[in-house]
Each structure stands twice: as structure tokens, then as C-alpha cells.
Amino acid sequence: MDLFERLKQDCHEQVVFFRDLQAGLRAIVVIHNTTLGPAMGGVKMSGYGCEDEAIEDALKLSKILTYKAACAGLNFGGGHTVVIGDPKTDKSEALFRSLGRFIDGLGGRYIAAEGVGTTVEDMDYIRMETAHVAGIPSSKGGSGDPSPLCVFGVLRGLEACQVFLTGSDSLEGVKIAIQGAGRVGSRLAAALTAKGAAVTIADVDAEAIGRVTSKHPVKVVETEEIYDVDCDIFSPCALGGVINDDTIGRLKCKVVAGSANNQLAEERNGDELDRRGILYAPDYIINSGGLINVAEEIHGYDSERARRKTAGIRDVLLTILQAARDNRIPTYKAADRFAEDRIERIARIRRS
């Protein structure tokens, strides 16, 4: 990878590599844009196949966080950390405290938060070494697990899609296929069945599926079969890149709307969804409840205030969907313009 050329491509500001042999830490922090404020983003722990794969993931996620914060009206930029390792076997107090020391050395340019493969307890270890972290346990004055508010935001986004297409925000009887039964996917399934939706779900983790089926009336299909489910809404709530050249032709839905980051493998996949008449809810709009939750912690956490701000996802998404229709462009392009317009307006103020 020609790293400087890659940074130029999406206007990233900074990439920092951290290594602590004794703690077993290999981490990369990427800061995309700090126009609106210090970069904020998750700490993801994953067993990447190679370092270039880890770098590319951090680059993409940090840009998404910039756009997510901009559209959510937050005064933060986008950043992200990836920790190379197996979250099931390689975690330790020393690893996360070492990461905290390194993050502290960035002087507040980046604020860490929980991400894929990490927990609020991991953030608590980071907090022992730096104040530049959010998403610590609620028992210690933090915002705690962000997934409940993320689910609330996704629900508001699903309602927006329904209003846009049908004029009604009711989810009763709506057929929804959820990909992923993790913290967000399982909670989303619970919330949707409570609203009378007909839910189909898939996950590679049989135990996770079992926890959902033991409590909620959902249909289960094999992991690869989820793309073929005849449904109103396909909701990716696990991995990114699932809307791609191989899967788009299999979709039998009117809407793609879920919590996963980077759902489009390539921008052209967003163009293809638009060509096929499938409404796409840009992921960094509909899944921004988690970021809103941890961002509120910086100013002294208030759960009701965080919930009110997350409820605004519905109006933001409706604005973007309407802009896409008015300008005859795919929804992902309308979302990008919305984010970039706000960043540029603030940049002009700061240049004056």
C-alpha cells in the first residue's frame, strides 16, 4: 500500500501505529478529519489477515465516522482504532491500558469508544490511562453499552423509510430480514417483533440465534440464505461489504436499512440499488445512535437528551431521501453531500 497516496485519496489527516511487545498490542489509529472537532470513533479488535487489510479497514471506518458525526449534528470529526488480535483470546488489561497510554499521547485529537470486538469494560481499562475515551460503564458515570440507542436509531430510520415509501410509519406486518444476531441484531429483532413485524434472521453463531428464538417469534434461515428471503426490508446488522456484485441480484426487498457499517462494498453498488428501485438508507445515518450516545458522555451524560437526539435520525434520513429524489441521485450520494456541506460551512467560519 502506498500509504500517503491512500491518505490523499480521502483526505485523511493522520495514521499512527502503536506496538507494545510485552502487552501484545498491535494497533492503528486513523484520524480522518477534525474540522468539526476532535476525532471520535470506535476501537475495533479483529484478527486481520494482514496489516494492509487492517489499515484499509481503519481508513474506511474513520471516514464514515466523520460523515456520521456531521450528519448527526455533532461537533466531532471521525477517527477509528483497529487492534490486531482475536477478541476472544487476546484481550488483557495490559493490552487496553497500553492502548490508553498511546491514545493519551495524541493529546485529545482522538477520543476512543467501544467498537466491534470490544466492550465497555475494555473502555474502562483505557480510561485508567487517558481521559480521551467514552463509552465507559454506566456504573462509573459513563453512557454504557451504546447498542440500545443504536437500535432505537435504526427503528427510527426504518420508520422513515416506511413513511417515505408508503406514507405510514407502521412496521406491523412488515417483512424484515435481519442479517446478524449480535448485540444490535438481536435487540432489533426483539423490538420489531414487539411492533408486529414478521422477522427472519440469520447468523453464523448458533448460540446467538438460540438466544433470539427462545424469546421472540422469528423465522431462522441459514447464513447465506438471508439474501434470498422475500421481504420488504433487508437489514444488515453484522459485517460490512454485504451489498456487493454477488448479492444485489439475489435481494428480494424494497429497502436496505440496517446497523452495519460500510454496507456497500463499492459505491457502484449504491448506484445499482438505485437503478433497481431499492431504497437504501445510508448506513452512517441510520446507525448513528451509538455515536450520539457516546458523544453525549463528553458533556456529562444525560440518557433522555441522548435519546431525543437519536430520535432526530428519522428527520435527517427523510431529508436525505427527499434530496436524493429531488436531485435524481442515489441516496448514498445525497448523504455524502449533506455531510460535506456541513463540514464546508463550518470550515468557512473557521477560516474567516
What CA–CA distance (Å, rounded) separates 284 from 282?
6
The string of pLDDT tens digits covering residues 43-95 is 999 999 999 999 999 999 999 999 999 999 999 999 999 999 999 999 999 99
Does one domain contain both 221 and 111?
no
What pLDDT, on the 0 to 100 scale, is given for residue 351?
A: 81
Stretch 313-342: mean pLDDT:
98
One domain for residues 179 and 235? yes
- Separation in Å, CA 100 to CA 112, 113, 325: 9, 11, 45
Residue 300 lies in a domain: no
Instruction: Kindly indicate the confidence band of residue 138, based on its pLDDT and cuts at 50, 70 and 90.
Output: confident
Query: Does any domain span residue 215?
Result: yes
With a pLDDT cut of 70, the percent of the chain lying above it is: 100
Residue 111 banded pLDDT, cuts 50, 70, 90: very high
Nine-digit cell string for 79: 477517527
Report the alpha-carbon distance of residue 91 to residue 338 in Å, rounded. 38
Q: 28 near 55, Cβ under 8 Å?
A: yes
For 220-257, what is each residue's pLDDT tens digit? 999 999 999 999 999 999 989 999 999 999 999 999 99
Backbone angle region of 133, left / alpha / beta, with phi > 0 → left and psi within -120 to 50 → alpha: beta
Q: Please indicate, yes or no, whether residues 170 and 227 belong to a single structural domain of this protein.
A: yes
Give the pLDDT score at 141.
Answer: 84
Domain-embedded: residue 345? no
* Number of neighbouring beta carbons within 10 Å of residue 2: 8
Both 128 and 208 in a single domain?
no
What DSSP letter does each residue of 252-300 carry, written as one string?
Answer: B-SEE--S-SS-BSSHHHHHHHHHTT-EE--HHHHTTHHHHHHHHHTT-
Question: How far, in Å, CA of 273 to CA of 22, rounded?
Answer: 48
Give the count of domains, the chain: 2
Q: Does one domain contain both 182 and 212?
A: yes
